[in-house]
A = this chain, B = another copy of it.
Amino acid sequence: MGLIVQKFGGTSVGNIERIKNVAKRIYKYYKEGHKIVVVVSAMGDTTDELISMAEEITKNPSPREMDVLLSSGERISSALLTMALHELGIPAISLSGRQAGIYTNSIHTKAQITCIKPERILKEISLGKVVVVAGFQGYDLDNNNITTLGRGGSDATAVALAYALKADICEIYTDVEGIFTADPRIVPSARKLDYISYEEMLELAGQGAQVMQLRAMDLAATYKVPIIVRSSFNENSGTFIGEVEKMETRRKITGIAHNKNIAKITVLGVPDKPGIAYKIFAPLGNAAINVDDIVQNVSKDGITDLSFTVPEKELSNALKIVKEIIPQIDAKDVLYDDQIGKVSIIGWGMQGTPGIAAKMFGILAENGINIEMITTSEIKITCIIRRDLVEKAVQALHDGFKLGEE
């Protein structure tokens, strides 16, 4: 018996029948004597429907009003799930983000959790209730406004609550079985992982593995919140995400990640002086543009080129900002490429194993895939390639590193 946080995504509560099934699942844990805090997303396409109504009205909706609009979706599903729990005889109560004590900064539509005051949740738990929290939303106390945490923010809600409540486990229920060695839609032989370290998962999530939101993984890794990612449609065990030292074996390569929704910006002729990178990336950060891979090669005659990738849908915003910076830093020009993608191999074990990078480059070369940029971290090697070759690259690497085998 312990305290469990369970998060159910939009597909898991996609209609009334599924909401009832979720209630039945919770019932089992409740009967076992666990204390349960549930975090729900909006039902199925609710968020998309609300967004499209806003788009019918304006091309440029006020972020504050978007948050009022979108936060309604999770309130609806939280109330309905609570009713379904009541119907099974389980005492339960729904709480909005504010009532759950989830406080954020004031960056509307992409707010960050600044603190959690779980008094109300703890009170309701002490009264024997299952607490159903509307995910994805918080409250900006300084300005008394509702905020949302950005798409997929319900994961962040669940992890942050699990930490604040010192939960024994945070279960993320979704429409997939767990974390795979590669995207099963691209690699049919992809294998479900029983466990993965925070760090490996972070790299996978950052590369577009859509199982769990990057920020939520980051939170979990930082605060060592134990996570299970599993399907809400069956009883399979899912993938456990935890600290690396707890893992039984050390795999060289854990999985292949890829992303086809990125674009590349290159700033040409940048003077190689201290503070230049800051001048480029600070304004992008202020605009909440997620800069991912950054590559800067050695300079020649005090001049260098600097490349980085951004989500494709943020390319035009990012270009606008960079073009304003160009004169301030005496750079020569800006180029962009919106036809790129990337593929990464990820694995804790690669740290102690020479030749992994060489093997990756070799496999890509054998398959006629040109590498345009390379970046590496301790547990990841990423190659930027043509977007139309990404799937071929993922398949070739999954085969080459034999990830389909136990």
Contacts and interface: CB of A to CB of B under 8 A. Distances in A.
A241 interface: no
A62 B80 contact: no
Interface centre among A57, A64, A146, by most chain B C-beta atoms within 10 angstroms, is A57
Interface in A294-340: none
A368 interface: no
A94 interface: yes
Interface in A30-80: 50, 53-54, 56-58, 61-62, 64-66, 68-69, 71-73, 75-76, 78-80
Interface centre among A76, A78, A144, by most chain B C-beta atoms within 10 angstroms, is A76
A19 interface: yes
A197 interface: no
A120 interface: yes
A83 B99 contact: no
B87 A53 contact: no
Given A56-B16, A68-B94, A61 B76 contact: no
Contact of A65 (B16, B19, B68, B94): B94
A225 B86 CA distance: 42
A120 B145 CA distance: 11
Contact of A79 (B66, B76, B83): B66
A343 interface: no
Contact of A61 (B57, B73, B83): B83
Contacts of A50: 76
A53 B13 CA distance: 13
Contacts of A66: 79
Interface in A3-33: 16, 19-20
A64 B93 contact: yes
A174 interface: no
Contacts of A157: none
Given A75-B72, A76-B72, A19 B64 contact: no
A120 B94 contact: no
Contact of A86 (B16, B65, B79, B96): B65
A195 B86 CA distance: 49
A84 interface: yes
Contact of A68 (B78, B84, B87, B144): B78
A181 interface: no
A82 interface: yes
A16 B53 contact: yes
Contact of A62 (B57, B72, B82): B82
A-B pairs, 7 with minimum CB distance: A69-B79, A68-B79, A72-B72, A58-B87, A16-B56, A65-B79, A57-B83
19 contacts: A16-B57, A50-B76, A54-B80, A57-B80, A57-B83, A57-B87, A58-B83, A58-B87, A61-B83, A62-B83, A65-B79, A65-B82, A65-B86, A65-B94, A69-B83, A72-B72, A72-B73, A72-B79, A96-B146
Interface of A: 16, 19-20, 50, 53-54, 56-58, 61-62, 64-66, 68-69, 71-73, 75-76, 78-80, 82-84, 86-87, 93-94, 96, 99, 120, 144, 146
